[in-house]
Structure 1
């Protein structure tokens, strides 16, 4: 099966959240898909982020994570997901924040000063989120479980991507509503 990084895959609103969302169906171990299991797909993420990521705080094009830093990058991704998922639920702890900050520090300390390195840009993005994100703007999509920033004026966004998850939820409601009606 061929996989490509499309605009939907970058609906988190921040690079750090898009990186965390690279695990599909995270809460279902039987169906969980880690898009970074394949090194080529992981490397292609940087190119996708250059085109589709809503956050553009970095200068120049992002480049893939150096092979020797991939394990640390995956640790950063998991710390981002753990911390911000708990924050979105209102259950964040100082220990989760400490682990995230340690992963950020490790990434920045060892990024080697590579211009546009995806791991360093992700660490900076996560750091900005810890400082600037309003907790009520951080949400979890009820359809796919991805993290996203609700940037709507009245903070009423429900899904990571209305065209995909919102449409699926509405179609499902329509199906079940009409399935139960007599004579159909």
Structure 2
């Protein structure tokens, strides 16, 4: 089955969150899918991020991650996910912040190539560092439908789902189905 990166896959509002969200159904071992485990999907991610990511203009054209740096990107992805999920839960975890900063430092130490284009791993490290340095805990949320992390940029901070067109509609359809089923049983 061929996988295509679509705009919905970039609903996080920041590149670091979009990278963290590359694991589908993270907490369901039976259905969990790691989109970066497939090398062609990982290689296609930067081009899709150039089109769909909220931070696409910040970094310019993203390049694929060099094969030797893929493990560091995955370490950063997992550290980003753990740290920001704890932050949503209002848990101050210095150990998770330390893990995130170590993962960022590991990538940034090896990124001094002087090229004008930036690789996905380096851009993700910059994005995660910006999120950590300028925390907006009331804007960082977890989608109740899919479990993805996202930034709520709505004026009144009332956004519930990562993507209204996908998760919002699924949630509303589920509620309607259960409501209709209950009414039919009465």
Superposition TM-score tier, normalisation by shorter sequence: over 0.9
Matched-pair contact (CA < 8 Å) for 1:141–1:158: yes
Q: Contact between 2:49 and 2:56, CA under 8 Å: does it hold in 1?
A: no
Unaligned runs of 5+ in 2: none
Residues 25, 32 of structure 2: 8 Å contact kept: yes
Whether 2:51 is the aligned partner of 1:37: answer no
Most deviating of 110-119 and 28-37: 110-119
User: CA contact under 8 A between 1:58 and 1:121: conserved in structure 2?
Assistant: no
Mapped partners of 1:59, 1:122: distance in 2: 10
Unpaired runs of 5+ residues, structure 1, are: none
Q: How many residues align?
A: 184
Q: 1:126 aligns with which of 103, 125, 128?
A: 128
| Counterpart among 96, 115, 118 of residue 116 in structure 1 | 118
Distance 2:57 2:125 in 1: 12
Taking only aligned residues, the RMSD between alpha carbons, in angstroms, comes to 1.3
In structure 1, C-alpha distance between the alignment counterparts of 2:84 and 2:49, rounded to whole Å: 20
In the superposition, relative to structure 1, how do residues 38 and 183 fare at CA in structure 2: closer, same or farther (>3 Å)?
A: closer
Calculate the TM-score normalised by the size of structure 2: 0.95
Question: Which residue in 2 is equivalent to 1:51?
Answer: 51
CA distance in 2 between counterparts of 1:56 and 1:133 reads 20
Identify the residue that residue 103 of structure 2 maps to in structure 1.
103
CA distance in structure 2 between the partners assigned to 1:69 and 1:26 by the alignment: 23
Whether the 8 Å CA contact 2:59–2:123 is kept in 1: the answer is no
- In 2, Cα distance between equivalents of 1:173 and 1:112: 51
Query: How high is the TM-score relative to the length of structure 1?
Result: 0.96
Contact 2:143 2:162 (8 Å CA) reproduced: yes
Distance between the aligned counterparts of 1:90 and 1:12, measured in 2?
Answer: 19
1:166 aligns with one of 165, 168, 178: 168
Please state how far the C-alpha of 1:112 moved relative to its aligned partner: 4.1
1:150 corresponds to: 152
Runs of 4+ in 1 over 6 A off after TM superposition: none
Secondary structure of 2:63 counterpart: coil
